[in-house]
């Protein structure tokens, strides 16, 4: 398989078949965004992968809890730091 280097990323060429409507949509969207159809396909694949890839177990705790009722949370971190370092 031939590999390509594009924007410092090693890429592999792949041939895909699109339905007529998919092709027309991608072609129009690429023109509107001033990019290539290949770039749109890469972005779509990346988005799909990011949504389908499971969250690593070591990140599973994020968002699992809540702060104390009426207490200070990490959402206020900048405000808290400004108060401390006045």
Tell whether 58 is covered by a domain.
no
pLDDT number for residue 28: 96
Range of the domain at 18: 14-52
pLDDT number for residue 6: 58
pLDDT number for residue 32: 96
Within 10 angstroms of residue 60's Cβ, the number of other Cβ atoms is: 10
Q: Please, are residues 3 and 12 in contact by the beta-carbon 8 Å criterion?
A: yes
Tell whether 4 is covered by a domain.
no
Tell whether 73 is covered by a domain.
no
Number of independent structural domains in the chain: 1
Give just the sign of the alpha carbon dihedral 24, 27, 29, 31: negative
Distance from CA of residue 56 to its chain's centroid?
A: 16
pLDDT tens-place values along the chain, 86 residues long = 555 565 667 888 889 999 999 999 999 999 999 999 999 999 999 999 888 877 666 666 666 666 667 676 677 778 877 888 87
pLDDT number for residue 4: 58
Tell whether 82 is covered by a domain.
no
What the block records as the tokens of 8 is 């410092």
pLDDT number for residue 83: 82
């Amino acid at each position: 398989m031939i590999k390509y280097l594009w924007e410092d990323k090693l890429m592999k060429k792949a041939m895909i078949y699109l339905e007529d409507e998919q092709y027309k949509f991608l072609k129009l969207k690429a023109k509107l965004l001033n990019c290539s159809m290949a770039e749109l396909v890469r972005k779509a694949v990346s988005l799909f992968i990011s949504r389908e890839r499971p969250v690593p177990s070591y990140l599973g705790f994020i968002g699992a809890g809540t702060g104390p009722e009426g207490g200070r949370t990490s959402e206020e971190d900048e405000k808290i730091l400004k108060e401390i370092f006045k």
